[in-house]
Amino acid sequence: MTSRPPATPKSSAGRLRALRNILAMETANGFADRAVSGGLDGFLRTLLGDADADPAIRWLADHGMLSVGYGELDATMRERWARETERLLATSGEAPEPAPRRAPRAQAPPPAPTIDAPVLRLKSVTRAHVAKLAKMGVETVRDLVFLFPNRHLDYSQRRTVAQVRPGEDQTIVVSLWEARQVKMGRGGRLSVTEAVVGDETGNLRVVWFGQPWLTQTLLRAMAKASQSGKGNAQLVLSGRVVVFNGRTQMESPEWEPLDDPDAADLVHTGRLVPVYPSTEGLPARTMRRIVREALDTASVDGSLRIEDTLPDALRERLGLIALSEAVAQAHYPDSTETKETARVRLAFDELLVLQLAVAAKRGNGQRKAKGIPLAPMPEPVRAFLGSLPFALTKGQETALAEAMDDIATAERPMSRLLQGDVGAGKTVVALALLLTAVAAGHQGALMAPTEVLAEQHFMNLRLMLAGLEEPSQGAAWFSVRLPGHDGPITIALLTGSTRAAARRELRQRIADGELDILVGTHALIQQEVELPNLALAVVDEQHRFGVLQRAALRGKGGAGDRPDPHLLLMSATPIPRTLALTVYGDLDISTIPELPAGRKAIQTRFVPAARAEDAERFLVEQANAGRQSFVVCPLIDESEAVLARAATVEYDRLRETTLAGLSVGLLHGRLPLAEKQAVMDRFRAGELDVLVTTPVIEVGIDVPNATVMLIEGADRFGLAQLHQLRGRVGRGEHQSYCLLLSEAVSEDAKERLAVLVGTNDGFAIAEADLRLRGPGDFFGTRQSGLPSLRMATLDDRDLLASARDEARTLLAADPALAAHPQLAEAVAHYATAVTDDVA
């Protein structure tokens, strides 16, 4: 017979009230054991000392709640102990507060919460939970309904006790025979709940570590079953079976009491069990309980009731299930097949809403903005292309033709993304377009994310225009003459490090109309810089800029009633097509798919630290054969000073050891621009055998005779950056090599390096990089304007294509989505998260 809680004498009421307050503080602090100085265990020991004299405290002690070893539990176990203690306190008969002089009027119970009610209306949500849920962006019941699991634990495999197999997740439905609390560990400090369960095929030992209150919970379940005449208590257990000391047992499984062995409303066991995003103080079991209550709140007669966002005709045509069914199955799927069916429906919704937002934004931009018409392929551009020592590839020609078609019209400004693999020749296309703007009497600008990249672009433009320069030039500016253009064309560099005097001179030359193309960093968008005649803005490595920064550069020429400048975005990191269409659906995309003819595939090898000297000797062999090499030092810190020291130390070591007798140069970000140019000119001229450098050579260096890229500390670099560095070699007729030197390599780094060793295809590498890092890290988190796609994946290419087509069809028939209010609301919600390049 189950014992009844004793009445609480007034002598213990204060201590139990203090315990309640402590529990509340622990809940608010995420169960960090900070509510009591010295830890909660000390307070519990004090209570335990009064147990013999105080029946209410003895009630807690008999249930194992005062000898828990709270300090040794993790946050999940502490929360479970706290919840059970709160439940026992609620039944302990604590003396009530004095009654008010007048009895309050009976009030009607509050109405059941709706799907748009705040989460605090749910019974399973405490005030402490509210703040933690808010950190996850969850404020309403609806937010919980659409908070989908990160994954599911497959506890659907029901077995008998005789069928359980060690090392696998499985579920058993059993009778509870015994439950007791035992002490384990040094000095018996660890409390363990031990139970014996069984079915018609045999018995099994089950242990739960650090949950001493569970013993009394199981004993009460046994007593309740006995009193009801049902025999033994029935449990569902889901978890992993292990072999300990030659004995099979289940350790710390999820469990639920079971009245009906065929019940379908299990939450923690016996099915595909959801694992939700969480945060400290909200363990998995708590999140499941909260989300399940939210789902029940949004249900009528056991079925979820959510208004569908898709028109019935569209849904039926594409074979998609109803939204209510998809949401229900996404949380608690009946099978892996129904889980995927639900994911496809929800992924389509995400992609459709995103494509609607992108298409609507693009349509608004096209209706509002007018472009600056530029005559395509003017004589100066043809002269520039004719001066190059190589012919454009087919991909370059196509990309240039597509962009020329864009800028020839005043209907709308160009908004195009130009992407291609390392060495594909994007900069040549960009320079031809910049010269087209200048030939029409306008200005152009090229913005790069860092000073190093801006300087590299400036030096590369100077190199491509070699032989056309005017005699007078400076370190940060030069002029060229091209047939068909009156007067010189002046190109200048502006970065945050540009000295005040030089900055004033540049501003004056801009004001006098003497500056045609400005290359720089974010310094270009500062208020003091004016480009009143800007017709084309080129943004390189555009995913490393924020939306507002890109818009600010374009705004340099589109102020007032003036037409907007054309915009060309370049990506030296190839973007997988699925993601490009998803994120940049408001842009036209040009891709240069091939490298210049005659290039051999670079051979890439991983070199362990023990064979570093062999790699260095290979540089000597290449130098003796008349070839040149790069040695790149790792990016240890963002500080240029640290980079410079790293390169300098390696430069001195190599000159004094393996590379003694070779001509070795040094290049790093702290060198003055003129000195950087001088070092690179010597390397291009073949005066240096080996160039020791930091990653300043990542972009824009073209030395056909360089055949070896030795990257030290390769595990410190990202996959995309390694591919960029590798692309500095392999530009001539000779076989080229990339040697990845590394000491201790983590599993993640091994996977990255294996990708690079396995392929030279930049798009394949980009796909792998995206899978390894995820969209946020791939693009640089918030800077890209990348929305949160929770259900769509990179493999949803067909689904994305369908979403684009349906978005165009819907907007063509109903531009304001007036007939689809649910979709219109969803689009408005997403509109703040998508790329805003067309504005």
Sorting pLDDT into bands at 50, 70 and 90, what band is 528?
low
441: confidence class by pLDDT, cuts 50, 70, 90: very high
Residues near 52 by beta carbon (within 8 Å), at least 6 away in sequence: 58
Q: What are phi and psi of 794, to 5 degrees?
A: -65, -20
Range from 81-90, 164-173, 401-410 carrying the lowest mean pLDDT: 81-90
What does the longest C-alpha to C-alpha distance in the chain come to? 105
pLDDT computed for residue 9 by the predictor: 44
Dist CA 181 CA 467 (whole Å): 88
| The predicted structure's pLDDT at residue 277 | 78
CA gap 749, 403 in Å, rounded: 39
**Nearest-angstrom CA–CA distance, 16 and 54:** 11
DSSP β-ladder status, 489-494 and 477-480: antiparallel
Contact between 90 and 17 (Cβ < 8 Å): no
Determine the straight-line distance between the first and last CA of the chain, rounded to whole angstroms.
74
Report whether 249 contacts 100 (CB < 8 A).
Answer: no
100-114, 194-208, 603-617, 737-751: range with lowest mean pLDDT: 100-114
Q: Contact 392/428 with Cβ under 8 angstroms?
A: yes
Distance CA 73, CA 190 (A): 9
Amino acid, single-letter form, for residue 744: A
User: pLDDT-derived band of residue 98, with 50, 70 and 90 as boundaries?
Assistant: very low
CB 495, CB 451: distance < 8 Å:
yes
Looking at residue 539, what DSSP letter applies? E
Rounded Cα gap, residues 254 and 132, in angstroms: 24
What's the rounded Cα separation, in Å, for the pair 773 and 729?
Answer: 26
> Mean pLDDT over residues 643-657, rounded?
81
Mean of the pLDDT values across residues 175-180? 89
Separation of alpha carbons 4 and 278, rounded Å: 37
pLDDT band, residue 493 (cuts 50/70/90): very high
CA distance 323 to 612: 58
Q: What is the pLDDT of residues 595-639, one digit of tens each?
A: 777 778 899 999 988 889 999 999 999 999 999 999 998 754 444
Whether 211 shows a pLDDT value over 80: the answer reads no
What is the residue whose two structure tokens read 């009064």? 50
**pLDDT for the residue numbered 785:** 42
Q: What is the average per-residue pLDDT within 230-235?
A: 80
Range 67-72 average pLDDT = 66
- What the block records as the tokens of 237 is 């257990």
**pLDDT value at 239 more than 90:** no
pLDDT of residue 262: 42
| CB atoms closer than 10 angstroms to residue 646 | 20
Q: pLDDT-based confidence at 30, cuts 50/70/90?
A: confident
| Cα–Cα distance for residue pair 20/16, rounded to 1 Å | 6
The per-residue pLDDT for 338 is 92
Q: In whole angstroms, what is the distance from residue 93 CA to residue 56 CA? A: 8
Task: List the one residue out of 245, 166, 159, 171 whose CA is nearest residue 200.
Answer: 159
User: Which tokens sit at 723?
Assistant: 């591919």
DSSP state at residue 279: B
Residues in the chain, overall count:
839
Tell me: pLDDT of 723 over 70.
Answer: yes
Interval 122-152: pLDDT, tens: 888 888 888 889 888 899 999 999 999 887 7
Q: pLDDT for 689-721, tens place per residue?
A: 999 998 877 655 778 899 999 999 888 888 888
DSSP letter string, 209-228: ET-THHHHHHHHHHHHHHHT
Give me the chain's average pLDDT, please: 79
Q: What is the pLDDT of residue 644?
A: 47
Q: What token pair was written down for 12? A: 């213990």
Query: Which two tokens mark 31?
Result: 């169960």
Is the pLDDT at 665 greater than 90, yes or no?
A: yes
pLDDT tier for residue 585 given thresholds of 50, 70 and 90: low
- Please say if the pLDDT value at position 398 is more than 90: yes
Do 644 and 694 meet the contact criterion of CB atoms below 8 Å apart?
yes
Q: Which residue has the higher pLDDT, 224 or 437?
A: 437
Distant-in-sequence, close-in-space partners of 130: CB < 8 Å, separation ≥ 6: 118, 119, 120
Residue 270 token pair: 């016996």
261 has a pLDDT exceeding 50 = no
What sign does the dihedral 665-668-670-674 (CA atoms) show? positive
Alpha helix ranges (H) inside 55-186:
55-62, 75-90, 127-135, 141-145
Q: How large a percentage of the chain has pLDDT more than 90?
A: 24
β partners of residue 756: none
d(Cα 336, Cα 838) in Å, to the nearest integer?
41
Q: Tokens 């020749």 correspond to what residue?
A: 425
> Rounded distance, CA 546 to CA 576, Å?
20
Task: Tell me the mean pLDDT in the region 323-337.
Answer: 92
Answer for the pair 766, 739: CB distance below 8 angstroms, yes or no: no
Query: Are the C-beta atoms of 249 and 207 separated by less than 8 Å?
Result: yes
Residue 799, classed as helix, strand or coil, is helix
Alpha carbons 348 and 799: distance in angstroms, whole number: 6
Which of 446, 394, 448, 452 is closest to 425 using CA atoms? Answer: 394
CA separation for the pair 587, 539 (Å, rounded): 14
User: Is the pLDDT reported for residue 259 higher than 70?
Assistant: no
Q: Based on the number of CB atoms within 10 Å of its own CB, is 75 exposed (0-12), middle (13-18) or buried (19 or more)?
A: middle
Q: Give yes or no for residue 316 having a pLDDT over 90.
A: yes
User: What's the alpha-carbon Rg for the chain, to the nearest Å?
Assistant: 34
Q: Higher pLDDT residue, 469 or 38?
A: 469
Alpha-carbon span 286 to 308, nearest angstrom: 29
Residues 6+ apart with CB under 8 A from 340: none
Long-range contacts of 298-303 (CB under 8 A, 24+ apart): 298/115, 298/141, 298/142, 298/145, 303/328
> Mean per-residue pLDDT for 438-445?
94
* Higher pLDDT, residue 832 or 618: 618
